[in-house]
């Protein structure tokens, strides 16, 4: 590994230590893994978010059972088997 790569790796680890805060090093995985998963889900859902939220507004007005609402929202999710209706 080059010196530049070593410096970058050291910098990234120093940031990780800073973000870890009061957590013990052995607890770090329990903290970072859920956030990594949430960020990945957010990235996957990003493309279909606007269409799902638009469909959600329509579906709410239909007063359908929850199962029917979910099926309609999944159609708007571009083939994904899950969606997110939280806006934020």
Which residue in this structure is represented by tokens 């999710």?
A: 77
Residue 32: its pLDDT value, please?
81
Q: What is the DSSP letter of 53?
A: H
Is the pLDDT at 55 greater than 90, yes or no? yes
Q: Where are the domains of the chain?
A: 3-44
Residue 86: its pLDDT value, please?
82
- The burial of 73, by beta-carbon neighbours within 10 Å (0-12 exposed, 13-18 middle, 19 or more buried), is given as buried
Averaged pLDDT for residues 65-76: 93
Residue 23: its pLDDT value, please?
76
Check: CB of residue 79 under 8 Å from CB of residue 52: no
Residue 88: its pLDDT value, please?
58
């Amino acid at each position: 590994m080059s010196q530049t790569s070593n410096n970058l790796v050291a910098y990234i680890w120093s940031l990780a230590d800073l973000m870890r805060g009061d957590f013990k090093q052995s607890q770090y995985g329990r903290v970072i893994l859920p956030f990594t998963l949430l960020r990945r889900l957010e990235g996957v859902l990003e493309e279909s978010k606007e269409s799902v939220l638009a469909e959600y507004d329509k579906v709410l007005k239909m007063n359908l059972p929850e199962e029917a609402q979910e099926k309609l929202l999944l159609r708007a999710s571009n083939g994904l088997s899950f969606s997110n209706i939280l806006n934020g």
